[in-house]
A and B are shown apart, each in its own frame.
Chain A
């Protein structure tokens, strides 16, 4: 019964979304005030209906109602409760419902906090957002109904893919979707601005919080996925340039570009058309990412949902929204007149360079990702584009970005002084060379990557610190804490980028590996650590069986860690997984993987020393933290500019 109510709520949501699209848009076009105002309650209703529908599906999973096909196929009564919950979105239908829920949630925030927007702009934003809701509600109802029942309820379910029964991956999709779908707000604002024929500083200020939030979530989502791959897939890889990874990385790059160009719109009323175009592209690439994941058109580790009709439907959504928005852009972009004037050496120019590098890098990743498809269609060549291509083609853009970042962020708006910025950054430059020399002296093997990565990282981090310092002026460190949060956000996010560069380059340059047949009690050494396999025994988990090894690690005779690498077998899903044992450390991770028993005794054992691995995740977390700090700046509070509407409700500011 509850399941049917959920289904009904989804049907109602579709109808409400249709209403919420047509009425406000027509109202804004005709100037009918009451029609325009219907947008906000419609957005709230849509959100409540989808939330109810999602709650019903969650309930079915929690109580293991196996008469629902989706629950039967993706759950099992013995599964831990946490994974019953996360199983809701660990499958195609449920994850699309989560997508719709987040979409409606973002629309509702625009309805709740958008009281200060000009009424026509607000109506158009809500209308466009609602139109995306129509498309996805239809997609779910017509191709991916999560509420379908089975004629006879089986006794137990088929269990969730064991790889997904993991805390890292359990929360990876919600964060990614918050990012993907958050970009729909930027898209809705862009289309609304084109319909209005007007983009101004206030528009830039409005777009930024949602883009910042989306980018922050996307950063965390990507980092979670990467961390999961690191500890779960069994050899400590953290990025594979897999189509599905690229599908989240391309919107991330475009969103990063959009964040920066929206600042120029807000502060200087320039780059308007470009910013609108980026906002459209960012969401278009999110949709494209959804298409790639959901259609399984490019084979990848993530293709747990492959169905051509669904692919065609999403392609249709992608075509209608992107095509429509780009057409509108072509027709109306000339109406967006730039006003700000700036010199060749200025913050604006530096941000233009940032945008060129980020968006070209995004296109390079995109083209590389779809190239196998293109080559097969056009020339009948079946080929692959893998990590070697992406590393060669993508890295130079990040190096260039890292080089100009500290300089650009120190230049003044309108007309900058390059010589002065360089003088301020001199200490950072010296530190960077010192860091490179240190890495050169310490390092062995792949000599160039470590010093270059270290130099860039030190340059960025020291540059961010000097930037903050320069901002305090003559009043000294006491002003440091009173700087606007946006300044802190900028410095922290940039430093995070530098630290991530450090982690990635040192890990890739200095990783050490050992593969051997380890016999019980026979020690071996790797990178100054002594590892000994003590034993291996069978252990029963809640819904799996496991072969668990015990490995002791010592360094110079002193114990460091006892590790338990596992090989698990999930009988219901009939799938084995490897669980690497990792000893996390500030300077290195010790990473041990248990293999098969060998003829003649002992077990195959893979051991790695992974230097600075944690710095990658720390860098990503710092970037996200920088985003949150910026988001909490007074300037971006949604009630900012409330002078015109003194009745604005400050208690509703989202980011206090």
Chain B
């Protein structure tokens, strides 16, 4: 029983760790740690599929978490930490796209779409409000109505 148990432990250890943030990474200063967590949530693990480094169990995510904490301990501001990470790993790791260059289009898009949609809707509603009421029923339609209502009209 002993040997298979050890083998299992080895397999489990060799496979990816089950937790993202490991206890040994956590900084002793709670306010620095809170900042590190907040920054980590906005950084993407470069080798994972759409996970932040705060959620990821990959080795590179751990390296990035440690790097973020190193910079924080060295006294960097949040912005400086993020810039250092981007300088190292590229714009790809930013889960919140910058509002620079073409990305301005992305950030302005919701408001622009809303303005456009609201404008079209406003025009349509105004037209409906101003439209003439539908024509009264024709004689044929009256006849059909009487038939359907069983002469109750």
Task: Name A residues whose Cβ lies closer than 8 Å to a Cβ of B.
Answer: 233-235, 237, 240, 242-243, 270-271, 274, 299-301, 303, 338-344, 348-349, 352-353, 355-356, 359-360, 363-364, 367-368, 371, 375, 378-379, 381-389, 393, 396-397, 515-517, 538, 545, 547, 567, 569, 575-576, 578, 593-598, 604, 606, 643
Q: Are B18 and A567 in contact (CB under 8 A)?
A: yes
Q: Are B21 and A340 in contact (CB under 8 A)?
A: no
Q: Shortest CB–CB separation between residue B34 and chain A, in angstroms?
A: 10
| B60, CB-defined interface residue at 8 Å | no
With A and B bound together, what is the CA distance between A338 and B133 in angstroms?
A: 11
User: A381 — which chain B residues lie within 8 A by C-beta?
Assistant: 91, 101-102
| B80, CB-defined interface residue at 8 Å | no
Sampled A-B contacts (6; CB under 8 Å): A342-B129, A368-B106, A382-B90, A383-B98, A389-B97, A596-B17
Q: Shortest CB–CB separation between residue A147 and chain B, in angstroms?
A: 30
Q: Are A569 and B15 in contact (CB under 8 A)?
A: yes
Q: Are A604 and B19 in contact (CB under 8 A)?
A: yes
Q: How large is the interface on B (under 10, 10 to 19, 20 to 34, 35 or more residues)?
A: 35 or more
Q: Shortest CB–CB separation between residue B29 and chain A, in angstroms?
A: 15
With A and B bound together, what is the CA distance between A524 and B51 in angstroms?
A: 29
User: A342 — which chain B residues lie within 8 A by C-beta?
Assistant: 125, 128-129
Interface string of B31-50 (1 = CB under 8 A from A): 00000000000101000011
User: A367 — which chain B residues lie within 8 A by C-beta?
Assistant: 106, 109
Interface of A is mostly: mixed
Q: Are A576 and B18 in contact (CB under 8 A)?
A: yes
Interface string of B102-118 (1 = CB under 8 A from A): 11001101100110011
Known A-B contacts A352-B124, A382-B92, A643-B148; the reply to A547 vs B8 at CB < 8 A is yes
User: A379 — which chain B residues lie within 8 A by C-beta?
Assistant: 101-102
Q: Shortest CB–CB separation between residue A308 and chain B, in angstroms?
A: 18
**Which one of A356, A383, A389, A516 has the highest number of Cβ atoms from chain B below 10 Å of its Cβ?**
A383
| B93, CB-defined interface residue at 8 Å | yes
With A and B bound together, what is the CA distance between A547 and B126 in angstroms?
A: 66
Q: Are B110 and A360 in contact (CB under 8 A)?
A: yes
Known A-B contacts A356-B114, A368-B106, A567-B12; the reply to A341 vs B96 at CB < 8 A is no
Q: Are B12 and A301 in contact (CB under 8 A)?
A: no
Q: Shortest CB–CB separation between residue B5 and chain A, in angstroms?
A: 5
User: A359 — which chain B residues lie within 8 A by C-beta?
Assistant: 117
Known A-B contacts A356-B121, A547-B8; the reply to A515 vs B19 at CB < 8 A is yes
Known A-B contacts A300-B50, A547-B8; the reply to A343 vs B97 at CB < 8 A is no
| B23, CB-defined interface residue at 8 Å | yes
Q: Are A384 and B26 in contact (CB under 8 A)?
A: no
User: A363 — which chain B residues lie within 8 A by C-beta?
Assistant: 113
| B139, CB-defined interface residue at 8 Å | no
A303-B49, A340-B134, A387-B95 are known contacts; what are 6 more A-B pairs with Cβ within 8 Å?
A: A235-B20, A341-B128, A342-B125, A515-B21, A595-B18, A597-B13
Q: Are B50 and A242 in contact (CB under 8 A)?
A: yes
Known A-B contacts A344-B125, A538-B5; the reply to A378 vs B18 at CB < 8 A is no
Residue on B nearest A342 in the bound complex, by CB: B128
Q: Are B118 and A356 in contact (CB under 8 A)?
A: yes
A386's partner among B8, B50, B125, B131 (CB-CB below 8 A) is B50
Q: Are B22 and A595 in contact (CB under 8 A)?
A: yes
With A and B bound together, what is the CA distance between A339 and B107 in angstroms?
A: 39
User: B42 — which chain A residues lie within 8 A by C-beta?
Assistant: 386, 388
